[in-house]
Amino acid sequence: MRRIILEPGELFSNDLLKRQSAFNAGALEAATGIIAEVRERGDAALRDFTARFDGVEVERFRVPQADIDAARGKIDPATAAALAQAAEQIREFHARQVQQSWFSVRADGALVGSKVTPLDSVGIYVPGGRALYPSTVLMNALPASVAGVGRIACVTPPAKDGSVDPAILEACRLSGVTEVYTVGGAQAIAALAYGTESIPRVEKITGPGNAYVAAAKKVVSGDVGIDMIAGPSEVCVVADDTADPSMVAIDLMAQAEHDPLAACYLVTFCEGYADEVERCIGEHLKASTRAEITAASLADQGIVVVCDTLDQAFSAVNVIAPEHLELHIHHAMDSLGRVRNAGAIFLGEWTPEAVGDYVAGPNHTLPTGGTARYASPLSVDDFVKKSSVIQYSPQALGRDADTVIAIARHEGLWAHARSVELRKELLRDGRLDADGPADILDVAADAAGEAGVDA
């Protein structure tokens, strides 16, 4: 791991990072071409790309419901029970995020509010390749289900025999997924965004993928909603001399084993401690089943930052703005307020990042590449849209009319101003009902009833 030793008072700089982009120019060009072909040729293009990239001939992309229903019997009971427990805890966490429509009535009779509406449809991308990710299904589909999305489509690359991992199918069943398709890569994103003969289009696409999937999401963004453009996964561990070096080492490795591009940061206070962590990594690697990937990630992307003070350490953390942040420090909760930029924060030695990946409840789809400076984890909010609701009484319009007219005239928008002036004239001449609704509260109650909430 590359080592950076900060002098007392020195600030960590973003220039010291070697972050990898979510995609490169080549991936963007390739994804653009794939998307164009899928838009033009539909299912035929999907079949050609699946044969070319996955080595699989697929006739029908949709997985039969009978296969989804039978999947639980094809996985070991421990895995089935684990998925069920994880689903329950993820659902419970996200249920607390649900927002209701609301309406408020001012003293002058103006009604304002916000109407919350679930998206009609979403598409969930579940990667294949180096590993299988039923947890991705749970983390993407459950918030959509909790939000009330009616149609949840899952796309995932087929195995060499054309099948889908039974654990992924069971996760789909547990999460409320309504349809599953065996197609991956940029071509799957194109199918979700624009539709083909077999795959109806969706309103929003979520889920991680490789550089080509990330590039495809960028290309289709705007024609369809996306969650984020996810880059390589990353973890930052802040460890003082109370932290067990072996635990810190294995937690860094837990992120590094995802991908050679995964980024791991150790922020600590002593070079000797950093040496011990790296020694422990070497010991753990002897038993790792993904030693080559892990070693490559730590060697090429790993950084150790040696700080002088806790303030200096958290200044570095907030520059890194990591996807995952582990605090292996004395009284970790006391330092929570120092953290401004992090996707998910894991407090104390008993909270490895792996619990957040699978079972704790909060979403594991997190901002990467420093985007935690402004972005948030995937949530129920990503699967709803909000409409502003406004209803003015004559009295309310009379109160605000001159303000509207003044601003509209300053902006040079004649019709804006005139639309208010005309109503003032009609009220003054008695050609509009100046009393307005008999009871604006009744109007609010009716509106709330239609939205399924209380005013």
Residues involved in catalysis: 323-324
3-state SS class at 346: strand
CA separation for the pair 84, 332 (Å, rounded): 31
Structure tokens belonging to residue 344: 């998910």
Cα–Cα distance between 49 and 190 in angstroms, integer?
12
Cα 49 to chain centroid distance, Å, stands at: 27
Name the residue among 183, 185, 225, 174 with its Cα closest to residue 208.
185
How many CB atoms neighbour CB 181 within 10 A? 24
Closest CA to 364 of 382, 380, 379: 379
User: How far is the C-alpha of 186 from the C-alpha of 210, rounded, in Å?
Assistant: 9
Angle at 185 between CA 179 and CA 189, to 5 degrees: 60
What is the secondary structure of 113-166 as a DSSP string? EEEEEE-SEEEEE---SSS--HHHHHHHHHHHHHHT-SEEEEEEPPPTTS---H
What number of residues does the chain have?
A: 455
Distance (Å, rounded) from C-alpha 202 to C-alpha 330? 47
Look at residue 284 and give its three-state secondary structure.
helix
Residue 142 to residue 124: CA distance in whole angstroms: 11
Per the structure block, which two tokens stand in for 361?
């409840």
- How far apart CA 81 and CA 93 sit, in angstroms, is 19
Q: Is 55 left (phi over 0), alpha (psi -120 to 50) or beta?
A: left
**How many other CB atoms are there within 10 angstroms of residue 106's CB atom?**
14
Strands 111-118 and 102-105: antiparallel
The whole-angstrom separation of Cα 357 and Cα 345 is 12
Q: How far is the C-alpha of 455 from the C-alpha of 453, rounded, in Å?
A: 7
Place of tokens 């303000």: 403
Q: Which helix (H) or strand (E) holds 394?
A: helix 394-410
Strand partners, 206: 124
